[in-house]
Amino acid sequence: MTQTTEREGCAPLPTPASTASYWHKEPSKILLNHRTTKELPAAVDVVVVGSGIVGAFAAWRLLQDGQHDKLSGVRDNVQSVLMLEAREACWGATGRNGGHCQPKLFGQPTHISRFELENYTFLKSFIEENNIPCDWETVEGCKAFYSKAMFDMAISDSEASAKLDPELGKLMTPIHPDDVNPSLKDVRLGSASLGALVQKPAASLWPYKLVAWVLEQLLERNGLSSEAPFNLQTKTPVTHIQSLPDGRWVVHTDRGMVTANKVLLATNAHTSHLLPHFGDLIVPVRGQMSSLIPPPSISPHTGKPLSYTNSYGFLGNKSQNSNQDDYLVQRPFNEVDGKVSGGELMFGGGRGQATILGMGVADDTTIDEAVAHYLRTELNNELDLDNNNTELKASYEWTGIMGFSRDGRPWCGEVPTGMGGGEGLFVCAGFTGHGMPTTSLSAKYVADLMMGKNTSDVKLPKEYIASESRAAIARTYVEVVMVDLQPDDYHC
C-alpha cells in the first residue's frame, strides 16, 4: 500500500477561515454547512476532492449530466460520487476570482486559443440552456497596455495568430494611440494607455452562483438520502490518500476515511498537499480582489454610459510584468423606487505591489494593505473615470489562492505512478489564474476519461495532459516562485 503525505515545499490545506468575498454575500442556503449524510460513507465509486468549478462540472458529467434514472436505478459506470470540500462549497478560487471569462486569442498556440473559445461557447450554452441565474453577460474583451514593449509584442503575437488562423484574427481589433475609429477613448481607457487589443467574445458573470446552481441541481436531482448517488460533505478536508493493492484508493479526512474506486483531485493550488510530487509543478499564488463603489462621476444620473461593458485586462501598469496583470468587470446598476445601487467595479490584481509578489502564499485569511491601496487608487489611471483621481471606496476586499503551473498549462488526466499516482487517481488542476476559459471542458474531459468514455469530442490540448515526460521538461523551466523576477516576456 502506498501513501501520499505532506512534506516540506508542498501546499498546505486551505485555511478554515478566509477573507469575505463579494461573491459570497448571497450564499446558497442549501449548500451552506451542507452534509448530505451525517457520517461519511464507507465506500463509493468516485471521490471528487474540491467543490469549485472543476469539481462541480466533473461531478455533473460523472452523474450523466446530473440526472439519475429513477425508474431503473441503474447508471453506466458511475454509481456514486462523494464530493469532499475543506471549506464551504465553492469557497476557494472560483468563489474569489475576478468574475469574468475571457479566452486568450494570442500569445499561445492557436489550437489552445481554439480550445478556450470552445470552452467559452460550452459554458455560455450551458448557462443559457439551463437558465442559470449567474448574471452571465456577453461582452467584449479589452486588453490595455501601459508598456510600449508589451503592446508591440501583443500586436506581433496577434498578427502571428491571425496568419495561422484567420478566423481568430477576425475576432481581434488593435487600437493604437492615434487611432480614431475605434479609439482608446471609445473603450474608455485613460490617457496613460499606450494601446489596446479588443476581442470577441468575453463575458462577465457571478461565478459562485454558477457553481452553486450545479451543486444544488446535483443534490436535488439525485436525492438527499444515504443511498443518493451524489453526496456533498463540506468542512471535510482531505489530509492524505493511499492506494490499495486491489487498485482502490483510501481517502483520509479529519472525520474518517472512505474507500473509492477512483479519485479526482480538483484541488488547484492545494494539489501538492495530497501529491507531493507536484510541489514545484503547481504552486500557490495569492491574488487580491476588490469591489469598488462607483464614483458619482459615472452614476446613471450623469447621463454617462451606465457601465464599463468590457472585460478588461491591464498590462504593464506601474512596471508590473505580464504575469501581474490587473483586471476589471463592472456589476450592473440597479434602480428600485428611484434609488440606484450596484455598479460595483470588480477590480483585481496589483500583485506587483504585494509582499513577495504573492508567490508561494496559500493564506487567504488576510489582505495585503499595499495591494488594497493600489486597487483603490490605480483604476483612475487605467480607466477614464472622470473622477479627479479621488480614492475609491471598497465594499469588499479579499484574497484568493491561484494554482500557478510551472509550464503555464493545467495538469489534466490520470496521475502517473512516477508522479505519486497510479491507476484510478486523476487530477485537473493548475490553471494559473486563467480557469474560467479552460476549466469546464477540462473537467468534462477528465470525467469522461475516468468513465472510460471516448474523449475525442473534447479537444483538450496535448499540452494539458499530465505525464512524467512533461514534468521532466517543466522542471527545466524557471521555478514558479522565480518567474516574476525574470525579464518580462509577454509569451509566458
Beta strand pairing call for 137-145 and 310-315: parallel
Contact 61, 447 (CB under 8 A): yes
Specify the pLDDT at position 71: 43
Q: Residue 79, exposed/middle/buried by CB under 10 A (0-12, 13-18, 19+)? A: middle
- Tell which residue, 433, 453, 430, 451, has the closest CA to residue 442: 430
Query: Which residue, 445, 419, 444, 442, is CA-closest to 432?
Result: 442
207 SS3 class: helix
Give the distance, in angstroms, between the CA of residue 203 and the centroid of all CA atoms in the same chain: 14
pLDDT tens track for 272-295 = 999 999 999 999 999 999 999 998
Half-sphere exposure of 482 (CA within 13 A, CB side): 9
Average pLDDT over residues 259-268: 99
Residue 492, pLDDT > 50, answer no
Residue 417 clears pLDDT 90, i.e. is over it: yes
Local structure of residue 322 (DSSP, 8 states)? T
**Cell numbers for 174:** 488593435
Unique residue bearing C-alpha cell 512534506: 7
Residue matched to cell numbers 479589452: 142
Q: Name the one residue in this structure whose C-alpha cell is 461573491.
A: 23
Residues 6 or more apart whose CB falls under 8 angstroms from that of 218 comprise: 56, 59, 60, 63, 66, 230, 232
The domains of the chain, with CATH numbers, are: 2-94+208-282+406-485 (3.50.50.60), 137-203+284-402 (3.30.9.10)
The percentage of residues in the chain with a pLDDT greater than 70, rounded to a whole number, is 92
Residue 76: its pLDDT value, please? 57
pLDDT, residue 69, reads 47
Confidence check: pLDDT of 257 > 70: yes
State the cell numbers at 21: 468575498
Least confident of 191-205, 228-242, 288-302, 355-369: 288-302
Can you tell me the distance from the alpha carbon of 253 to that of 238, in angstroms, rounded to the nearest whole number?
Answer: 4
CA 181 to chain centroid:
34
Q: How confident is the model at residue 410 (pLDDT cuts 50, 70, 90)?
A: very high
d(CA 365, CA 18): 4
Give the whole-angstrom CA distance, residue 417 versus residue 412: 15
Question: For position 336, what pLDDT does the model report?
Answer: 80
> 452: exposed, middle or buried (C-beta count within 10 Å: 0-12, 13-18, 19+)?
exposed
The mean predicted confidence, pLDDT, of the chain is: 92
Q: Is the pLDDT of residue 83 over 60?
A: yes
Task: Give the pLDDT band (50/70/90) at residue 77.
Answer: low
Determine the average pLDDT of the residues in 458-479. 98
pLDDT interval class at 5 (50, 70, 90): very low
78 or 135, greater pLDDT = 135
Using a 10 angstrom Cβ sphere, with 0-12 exposed, 13-18 middle and 19 or more buried, the burial of residue 26 is: exposed
User: Which three-class secondary structure state does DSSP give residue 414?
Assistant: strand
pLDDT in the model for residue 306: 47
Burial class (CB in 10 A: 0-12, 13-18, 19+), 303: exposed
Asked whether 14 and 85 are in contact (CB, 8 A), the reply is: no
State the Cα torsion 48-50-53-56 to the nearest 10°. 40
Is the confidence at residue 3, as pLDDT, over 50?
A: no
Give which of 267, 368, 312 is closest to 19, Cα–Cα. Answer: 368
pLDDT digits (tens, 9 = 90+) for 177-226: 999 999 999 999 988 999 999 999 999 999 999 999 999 999 998 877 77
Mean pLDDT value of segment 118-124 = 99
In sequence order, which residues have a C-beta less than 8 Å from that of residue 321 and are 6 or more positions away? 352, 484, 488
Residue 468 has pLDDT above 80, yes or no: yes
How big is the chain, counted in residues?
Answer: 492
Q: What is the pLDDT of residues 329-341, one digit of tens each?
A: 999 988 787 788 8
